Amino acid sequence: MQAVTVTAEGGEGFWATAAPIIPHPLEFFFGLVCFAILYVVVSKKVVPRLEQIYAERTAAIEGGMNKAEEAQAQAQAALEQYQAQLVEARSEAARIREDAKAQGAQIIAEMREHAASEASRITETAHKQIEAERQQAVVSLRGDVGRISTDLASRIVGESLHEETRQKGIVERFLAELESGDVVREKVGGAAGSQGGEA
Amino acid sequence: MSIVAAAPTDYTAPGVEEFWQPLIGDGAWAITRPMFLMAFSIILITWWLLATTRKKALVPSKGQMGTEAVYGLVRNGVAKDLIGSHEFMKFVPLLFSMFVLILVNNLFGVIPPMSYPTMSRIGFPIALALIVWVVFHVVGMKKHGFIGYWKSLVPSGLPKGMIVPIFILELITDLFTRPVTLALRLFGNMFAGHILMVLFITGGWYMLTSGGILVVAGGVTWIFAFVMTLFELLVEFLQAYVFTLLAALYIAGAVADEH
């Protein structure tokens, strides 16, 4: 370092070659002033702005998290409600099924009863009709039998006995006797003779 | 030194006069180039900080993100961790201002056309160290009271005979060692780093222009100059960080309940 001499770089004199740890007074004061200016700007403007950004960002993140938690709670509540509704619906369905079963059984029983009464009614009506027809047939037969017998008798006798038979009710009487079981044999000739004699 | 010896004729190794660059006037009240650089750094920093924080966007732009990263480093990485979450906010503006001011002025050392680390002029580090010194004493006295602050320098539970010597040692540390080392560390790193780079670059240039075998040596020297520049970048950042860290540490010690 013997080559060090006063130089081209700066001026001459004390400050050019002074030991580097001797502070230059104006630089020292200027440093203080500059730092003061920077400090004022930073503390009045920059730090408050950055802190505001920090706070807002934190709030935004926490708000977002709260919102997410709220949404999750809502979803949970909805799920529980849904499940409760599902359980309710299931029990409701089961109840309806039970009801329907009971109702169906009742309806079947009613129908069965109804059908039975209907059947008995129809049977009874048929019985009555048959009875009525039989009566009618009996009546009609009785008349026919009387008329045919009389016709037959008239052929045998040779003249019409219809008037007499009707007057005396012979046929009716005979049939009545027949129904009651005490049939008395009569001689057709004698009777016819006597009847004819009387006619 | 062998380089200098090999070129005996007209190479002048850089010395302290490299750093004396008066622009207006001369002597103790000359306005020097580092003062202009300091003023320029203040304009640059305030413009940048105000511009990138104007929008206060929750989703930051790249500029705002950069500012927030540096601010977060000082606020959370330094102030909050060292001073504690109760009192640190008071000191964040101070520490943040200090960090960005030192960082930008240090980076001027490797950025043309500035190419001059402002903090290699010891007046500036002394100014900053003085501010730190005043601040940590004042907050300590506010917290503990004038007498209580000096008492708090001595750890409790010492044997009686040890109290006086420990107090004297702590007093020297507190009043003298801390501010002086704070200023000298920053100054020394910047001064030495800059003079080394000037030596590598001017010496390399001298050899490159000398011809002969010296051209090769000059080329190698310039490669070293490049590596040194990268190393300087690291040192410049680290010194800004260390200065801020120690300032926070001293403040933390002063406001701590127990020393």
Q: Do B122 and A20 touch (CB under 8 A)?
A: yes
Interface of B with A in 128-167 (CB under 8 A): 128, 130-131
Q: Do A34 and B96 touch (CB under 8 A)?
A: no
pLDDT digits (tens, 9 = 90+) for A46-71: 999 999 999 998 999 998 999 999 99
The answer to whether A35 faces chain B, any CB pair under 8 Å, is yes
Name the residue facing A20 among B50, B60, B191 (closest C-beta): B191
- Whether pTM > 0.95 for this model: the answer is no
Within 8 A by CB and 6+ apart from B44, the residues are B104
Q: Do B127 and A20 touch (CB under 8 A)?
A: no
User: Chain B residues with CB inside 8 Å of A43's CB?
Assistant: 93-94, 97
Closest CA to B214 of B223, B222, B204, B202: B204
- pLDDT of B118 higher than 90: yes
Cβ atoms of residues B28 and A15 within 8 Å: yes
Name the residue facing A43 among B30, B71, B93 (closest C-beta): B93
b/e code A27-62 from CB counts within 10 Å (16+ = b): bbebbbebbebbbebbbebbbebbeebeeeeeeeee
- Of the pLDDT bands very low, low, confident and very high (cuts 50, 70, 90), residue B25 is confident
The residue that leads in pLDDT, A38 or A197, is A38
pLDDT digits (tens, 9 = 90+) for A69-108: 999 999 999 999 999 999 999 999 999 999 999 999 999 9
Name the residue facing A42 among B17, B41, B96 (closest C-beta): B96
Question: What does the pLDDT read at residue A188?
Answer: 55
Question: What does the pLDDT read at residue A70?
Answer: 93
The residue that leads in pLDDT, A144 or B106, is B106
Q: Of A160-174, B138-152, B174-188, B200-214, where does mean pLDDT reach its minimum?
A: A160-174
User: Chain A residues with CB inside 8 Å of B50's CB?
Assistant: 41, 45-46
- Of the pLDDT bands very low, low, confident and very high (cuts 50, 70, 90), residue A12 is low
Closest CA to B249 of B189, B182, B176, B183: B182
Question: What does the pLDDT read at residue A82?
Answer: 95
- pLDDT of A10 higher than 90: no
What is the C-alpha separation between A161 and A154, in angstroms, rounded? 5
pLDDT digits (tens, 9 = 90+) for B219-259: 999 999 999 999 999 999 999 999 999 999 999 999 887 64
Tokens of B78: 């330094």
Alpha carbon separation from B172 to A111, B162, B176, B186 (Å, rounded): 118, 16, 5, 20
The answer to whether B169 faces chain A, any CB pair under 8 Å, is no
pLDDT digits (tens, 9 = 90+) for A141-180: 888 888 888 888 888 887 777 777 777 777 777 778 877 8
Interface of A with B in 53-112 (CB under 8 A): 53, 56-57, 60
The residue that leads in pLDDT, B57 or A95, is A95
Residues of chain B with pLDDT > 70: what percent? 96
- pLDDT of B3 higher than 70: no
Question: What does the pLDDT read at residue B26?
Answer: 84
Residues β-bridged to residue B22: B32
Say if strands B22-24 and B31-32 run parallel, antiparallel, or are unpaired. antiparallel
What is the C-alpha separation between B135 and B11, in angstroms, rounded? 47
Q: From the CB of residue A189, how many other CB atoms can be counted at a distance below 10 Å?
A: 11
Question: What does the pLDDT read at residue A32?
Answer: 96
Question: What does the pLDDT read at residue B58?
Answer: 83
Name the residue facing A26 among B29, B56, B130 (closest C-beta): B29
With CA atoms as reference, the chain B residue closest to A32 would be B127
- pLDDT of A183 higher than 80: no
Q: A42: distance to nearest CA of chain B, Å?
A: 6
pLDDT digits (tens, 9 = 90+) for B137-166: 999 999 999 998 888 888 888 888 888 999
The answer to whether B29 faces chain A, any CB pair under 8 Å, is yes
Question: What does the pLDDT read at residue B158?
Answer: 84
